[in-house]
Chains A and B, each alone.
Chain A
Amino acid sequence: MCTQLYFDYAATTPVKKEVLEEMLPFFNINFGNPSSIYNIGRQGRNALDIARDRVAKTLNSKSEEIFFTGGGSESDNWAIKGVAFANRDKGNHIITSKIEHHAVLHTCEYLEKEGFEITYLDVDKYGLVGVDDLKNAIRDNTILVSIMYANNEIGTIQPIKELAQIAKKSGIIFHTDAVQAYGNEIIDVNDLGVDLLSISAHKIYGPKGVGALYIKKGTKIQQLIHGGGQEKKRRAGTENMPGIVGLGKAAEMAYENIEEHIDRLTRLRDKLIDGIMTKIPYTRLNGHPTKRLPGNVNISFEFIEGESILLSLDMEGIAASSGSACTSGSLGPSHVLAAIGLSHEIAHGSLRLTIGDFTTEDEINYVVEKLQSIVDRLRQISPLYEKVKRGK
């Protein structure tokens, strides 16, 4: 139990040393308010510009299109509420999918209470949104389409470019929640043709509580946080300087060797998937076999329940998650697994293992080995497995 093997990189990541080092002076040395005109204030302003340039470079956007926020959830809230309220004169219909993060889904549910109409698109068995489904859902009064880039639970990567093109043809604003994809996919906002894109620092080895929203120049959007004139009067509040500096550095590092990062994680991911699927019977891979995040593994083990798998893994020093960590307080099975058509029974037995920059091949082997005995032990206790063994 002493060595902690971390298999929950989709939940959060550790801050990298280089990132932390750049952040530290902004707590107590370069602590000036970037809005102040004296020297340490100007230093802050300068650091803010550098961070913005770094993030813009990773997305191939202009620096002035990057707005810092308090994280991925705020970026999603701002994008959706901001567009909804600013474009109310044009219509009140929004299209999203059934497998979005709660930051999007619950924001849409809130807007329904405010008089907006929301279409929640179905997904196929891999978790993919259908391009034709989006086409068919568009109405005269549709003002926004929000589809996540990659899913946090099952890792499925959507055809964002195609989806954005459809929205664009009808003059509809397109937002994508790229919190999971950022740092794990090559993202070019111009090539994709998206208007808004949410990212978060703590998924890419940066600090928690900071993120950004890319807002394409000319996109009609209201502000979410009112107050001072920060972020070109669009997002009030004294800037979280250590956080923003951390995001900038983490973004730069994430995209320094992005191809290598993707190749390495994909290889480890497939090794983990193959190991589990070949060594443990009655398993199924959730999500798409290839259109999936390089670090995501989501597997259902029949006849057993997810929490008991997590507890057993924890006893072996392995940190993982079942469905989304955000919903672990709830008893209902994950909305994502339900949307891809899993029965409740199979959804309850799902395990998400997400890998990252510090995952080693030895760790993969260790987890596969431990999982074999854990799954076997729990199945020996399960009355459902007993029925299968008897051939019923």
Chain B
Amino acid sequence: MYNEKVMDHFMNPRNVGEIEDAEAIGEVGNPICGDIMRMYLKIDNNDIITDVKFKTFGCGSAIATSSMATEMIKGKTVREALRLTNMAVVEALDGLPPAKVHCSVLAERAVKTAIYNYAKERNLTYKELDGFDPNDDHDGHDHDEE
């Protein structure tokens, strides 16, 4: 079902944990859908993400995409992190089964939500966040299925 790379990130997820003094924290998802992702970012004065940690409640692909997303934004600027798309995460994992692609949306939204909260606290604006609403519950799930 999942390829080796996905299974590797599921079995040995990178950057699991919490950051006590994180500059940015974002939580997305909803236990009713069966997945919640929380992302912690350490951001320095040059807007560079120096550390990332995550915690995820969810299926194999939710955990694997969380892990991959943290690897992809570590060391990047906030702006670069905001340009992370779920499809880029899926690609980096060498693909996900079609029914599981929606899980990757959660990872993208977790990063964006963390930075959204960070920007709001500090009165910063990032044009990449235009139109982004952290309360928009769109998680890619088809709630009417079955």
Q: Give the interface of A toward B (CB within 8 A).
A: 303-308, 311-312, 315, 327, 329-333, 335, 343-345, 348, 380-384, 386
Contact = CB atoms under 8 A, between A and B. Distances in A.
B57 A383 contact: yes
Interface string B19-43: 0000000010001111111100000
B57 A384 contact: yes
Interface residues of B, number: 30
Contacts, number: 73
A382 B59 contact: no
Interface in B10-64: 10-11, 13, 16, 18, 27, 31-38, 55-60, 62-63
B146 interface: yes
A383 B38 contact: yes
Question: Which of A312, A335, A381 neighbours the largest number of chain B CB atoms within 10 Å of its CB?
Answer: A381
A381 B56 contact: yes
Given A311-B10, A383-B55, A344 B34 contact: yes
B99 A304 contact: no
Contacts of B63: 308, 381
A302 to B, nearest CB: 10
A315 B11 contact: yes
A304 to B, nearest CB: 7
Contacts of A343: 31
B18 A333 contact: no
Given A329-B99, A348-B31, A308 B146 contact: no
A262 B56 CA distance: 41
A332 B145 contact: yes
B145 A330 contact: yes
A80 to B, nearest CB: 20
B35 A305 contact: yes
Given A382-B55, A383-B55, 12 more contacts: A305-B57, A308-B58, A315-B7, A315-B11, A327-B146, A331-B33, A331-B141, A333-B34, A345-B32, A348-B31, A383-B37, A384-B36
A348 B56 contact: no
Contacts of A329: 99
Interface of B: 2, 7, 10-11, 13, 16, 18, 27, 31-38, 55-60, 62-63, 99, 141-143, 145-146
Contacts of A330: 145-146
13 contacts: A307-B59, A311-B7, A327-B146, A331-B34, A332-B145, A335-B146, A344-B33, A348-B34, A381-B13, A382-B57, A383-B36, A383-B38, A383-B56
A383 B27 contact: yes
A303 B11 CA distance: 18
Contact of A305 (B11, B18, B59): B59
A304 B59 CA distance: 9
Contacts of A380: 16
Contacts of B35: 305
Contacts of A345: 31-32, 34
A332 B38 CA distance: 22
Contacts of B143: 332
A50 to B, nearest CB: 42
